């Protein structure tokens, strides 16, 4: 029987909060240079909505901008995020590497994330996650844009019969339930208690996964 654990990336394995604000500030610096923004960088407004999908971020931060400019801003933001990652400004969560190494001895490990391919690959490369992870799946590979469908793709392509989805948001928990997998919520930076209540198990440290039985 093929057993696997499917991880979310942002706010689950990777401390995205460490790079979001610097990348946002750099993005708005460019927008100012292009004459597309005159005010201060809306950091406070951004903090209020951290963790929401990126299209919603740009709708909220730049409501007067056209869709084309928002998309351009989002692309630029990703460039700045990747720069932050490659410059060593981010970090994995405590005990991530040790936990992944231990789990990889018994399970196949995958990543299923709402992040874009280049962004995810930058994290995988920087922290050499290919040592543990069998495959990294981006939401870009799914036409529907739904996490449940992305997790289903991981299951089908790898013949997974039993396992768990680890994540910090409701979409991760729902993806587990929709695919008859165990849902494990992580109480990290972007997590919401009301969303975590729907998880089968909630942990406060990645090393706690070593105590979970998937059988």
Mean pLDDT over the full length of the chain:
93
Tell me the domain boundaries of the chain: 3-15+92-211, 17-86
Residue 19 near residue 81 (C-beta atoms within 8 A): yes
Q: Which residue has the higher pLDDT, 181 or 49?
A: 181
Could you tell me the pTM of the whole model?
0.92
Enumerate residues 6+ apart whose C-beta is below 8 A from 201.
182, 183, 184, 185, 212
Percent of the chain past pLDDT 70, that is, above it, reads 98
Enumerate residues 6+ apart whose C-beta is below 8 A from 3.
106, 107, 108, 160, 161, 162, 163, 214
For domain 3-15+92-211, give the fold: Rossmann fold (3.40.50)
| Banded pLDDT at 88 (limits 50, 70, 90) | very high
């Amino acid at each position: 029987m093929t057993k696997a654990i499917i991880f979310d990336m942002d706010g689950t394995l990777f401390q995205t909060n460490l790079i979001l604000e610097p990348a946002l500030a750099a993005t708005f610096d460019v927008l100012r240079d292009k004459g597309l923004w005159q005010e201060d960088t809306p950091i406070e407004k951004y903090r209020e909505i951290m963790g929401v999908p990126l299209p919603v971020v740009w709708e909220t931060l730049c409501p007067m901008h056209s869709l084309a400019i928002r998309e351009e801003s989002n692309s630029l933001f990703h460039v700045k995020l990747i720069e932050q990652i490659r410059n060593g400004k981010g970090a994995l969560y405590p005990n991530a590497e040790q936990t992944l190494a231990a789990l990889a001895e018994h399970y196949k490990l995958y990543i299923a994330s709402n992040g874009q391919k280049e962004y995810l690959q930058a994290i995988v490369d920087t922290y050499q996650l290919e040592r543990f992870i069998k495959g990294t799946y981006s939401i870009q590979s799914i036409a529907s844009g739904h996490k449940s469908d992305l997790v289903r793709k991981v299951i089908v392509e790898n013949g997974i019969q039993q396992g768990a989805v680890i994540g910090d948001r409701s979409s991760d928990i729902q993806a587990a339930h929709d695919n008859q997998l165990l849902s494990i919520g992580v109480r990290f930076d972007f997590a919401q208690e009301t969303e975590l209540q729907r998880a089968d198990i909630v942990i406060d440290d990645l090393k706690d996964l070593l105590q979970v039985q998937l059988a």
